[in-house]
């Protein structure tokens, strides 16, 4: 990205309490990227309407996601943090994109099929979810989108839509482009963080370890990680162990090597490894828990951050929408 600064964008749904899969898959990479360009991180409340039907719960979740993201290190001096619905123009762009989006492209979406399989009602909004997500990305002329692996197909759909809209409306542009192609940024080491049953960690599977659960709860979740029945004295396979995978996210290189050796050697039971994992996890998030208390003590902090973020996001979104409306013939 020569000359102009790289624009980074990501979103997270306020549909429940954030877990360590969200943290390592999306929040930590997004926080690391905030120093490398101009970052826009938003709370995807329009998206959450596809699953949350309780207005009070939605409002509470939005605040808690803002709080947790800030506590984890999002720096509002570097990154704009805002509510998706504070930029309602994004729904206009979603409509424009939906008139170009081929049905077949959306019919191939795994996440739609997965959500139906989990019993979610098949609404039009749930079906066209990837179009709104494309609008989220394109309305800020984003270059890079840090997400977990489960969102990869959504970014691919966005890229397909960019090609299509450029073909349809881009001819009059000097470079043939209305939008540039955004790139997903997926951390190989944390693309799928396992939950306590070894499947992908997800609140809808009930296998989550929450970032800011209390001590008793976090210990209980860690102690209930599912293991195989290898006896204490026997050697164990670290690479296939959820305990070891989670430990690798929070321990130092030498600690990780030490645990791997003890797995191979045998003589240590899974219960002991779980205790070590709990200690490390608890320690890892301690500074963030402290920061969270500080933010909570400052009553207007979150509102101020969200208001500033919304102002910045609207500046860019307005520029892009003026360009798009003109190109498609609406102005």
Whose structure tokens read 């605040």? 63
Both tokens of residue 293?
Answer: 């208390």
User: Counting contacts by CB under 6 A, is residue 86 touching ligand TRP?
Assistant: no
Whole-Å CA distances, 98 to 124, 157, 175, 192, 320: 12, 12, 24, 30, 17
d(CA 275, CA 295): 30
CB 71 within 8 A of CB 212: yes
d(CA 180, CA 145): 13
**Cβ contact 145:185 at 8 Å:** yes
**Residue 168 structure tokens:** 């349809």
Residues that bind ligand AMP (CB under 6 A): 12-13, 21-22, 25-26, 147-148, 150-151, 190, 192-193, 200-202
Residue 137 interacting partner from ligand TRP, ligand AMP, none (CB closer than 5 to 8 Å by kind):
ligand TRP
Q: Which of residues 74, 93, 147, 222 is near ligand TRP by CB under 6 A?
A: 147
Q: Would you count residue 145 as binding ligand TRP (CB under 6 A)?
A: yes
Residue 250 CB, shortest distance to ligand AMP, in Å, is: 14
Q: Which residue has the tokens 């179009």?
A: 131
Three-state DSSP at 80 gives: strand
Residue pair 87/310 in contact by the 8 Å Cβ criterion: yes
Q: Which does 200 bind (CB under 5 to 8 A by kind): ligand TRP, ligand AMP, none?
A: ligand AMP
Answer with the entry of ligand AMP, ligand TRP, none that 18 interacts with (C-beta below 5 to 8 A by kind).
none
Q: Is 200 one of the catalytic residues? A: yes
Q: Which two tokens stand for residue 187?
A: 């951390």
Nearer Cβ to ligand AMP (12/310): 12
Q: Is 236 a catalytic residue?
A: no
Asked if residue 109 binds ligand TRP (CB under 6 A), the reply is: no
- For residues 37-66, which are near ligand TRP according to CB under 6 A? 44, 47
Q: Which does 11 bind (CB under 5 to 8 A by kind): ligand TRP, ligand AMP, none?
A: ligand TRP
Q: How many residues bind ligand TRP (CB under 6 A)?
A: 14
Measured from the CB atom, the residue of 47 and 327 that comes closer to ligand AMP is: 47
Stretch binding ligand TRP (CB under 6 A), from 99-107, 144-152, 234-242, 307-315: 144-152
In the chain, the N- to C-terminal Cα span, in Å, equals 31
Report helix, strand or coil for 214: coil
DSSP string, 178-203: SSPPPEEE--GGGSS-B-TTSSBP-G
Is 275 a residue of the active site? Answer: no
137 binds ligand TRP (CB under 6 A): yes
CB of 123: closest distance to ligand AMP in angstroms? 17
Catalytic center residues: 115, 200, 203
Binding site for ligand TRP (CB under 6 A): 9-13, 44, 47, 133, 136-137, 145, 147, 151, 154
């Amino acid at each position: 990205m020569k000359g102009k600064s790289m624009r980074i964008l990501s979103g997270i749904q306020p549909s429940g309490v954030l877990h360590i899969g969200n943290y390592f898959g999306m929040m930590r990479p997004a926080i690391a990227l905030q120093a490398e360009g101009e970052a826009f991180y938003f709370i995807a409340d329009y998206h959450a309407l596809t699953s949350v039907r309780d207005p009070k719960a939605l409002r509470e979740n939005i605040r808690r996601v803002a709080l947790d993201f800030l506590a984890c290190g999002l720096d509002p001096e570097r990154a704009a943090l805002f509510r998706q619905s504070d930029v309602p123009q994004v729904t206009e762009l979603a409509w424009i994109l939906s008139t170009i989006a081929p049905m077949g492209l959306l019919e191939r979406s795994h996440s739609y099929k997965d959500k139906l399989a989990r019993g979610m009602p098949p609404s039009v909004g749930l079906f066209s979810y990837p179009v709104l997500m494309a609008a989220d990305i394109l309305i800020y002329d984003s270059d890079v989108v840090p997400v977990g692996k489960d969102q990869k197909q959504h970014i691919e759909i966005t890229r397909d839509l960019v090609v299509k809209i450029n073909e349809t409306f881009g001819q009059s542009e000097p470079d043939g482009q209305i939008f540039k192609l955004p790139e997903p940024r997926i951390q190989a080491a944390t693309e799928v963080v396992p939950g306590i049953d070894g499947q992908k960690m997800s609140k809808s599977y009930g296998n989550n370890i929450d970032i800011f659960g209390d001590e008793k709860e976090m210990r209980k979740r860690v102690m209930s990680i599912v293991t195989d029945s290898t006896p204490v004295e026997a050697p164990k396979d670290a690479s296939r162990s959820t305990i070891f995978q989670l430990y690798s996210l929070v321990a130092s290189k030498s600690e990780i090597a030490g645990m791997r050796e003890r797995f191979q050697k045998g003589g240590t039971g899974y219960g002991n490894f779980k205790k070590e994992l709990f200690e490390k996890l608890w320690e890892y998030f301690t500074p963030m828990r402290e920061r969270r208390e500080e933010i909570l003590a400052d009553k207007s902090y979150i509102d101020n951050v969200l208001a500033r973020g919304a102002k910045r996001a609207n500046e860019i979104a307005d520029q892009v929408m003026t360009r798009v409306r003109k190109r498609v013939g609406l102005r």
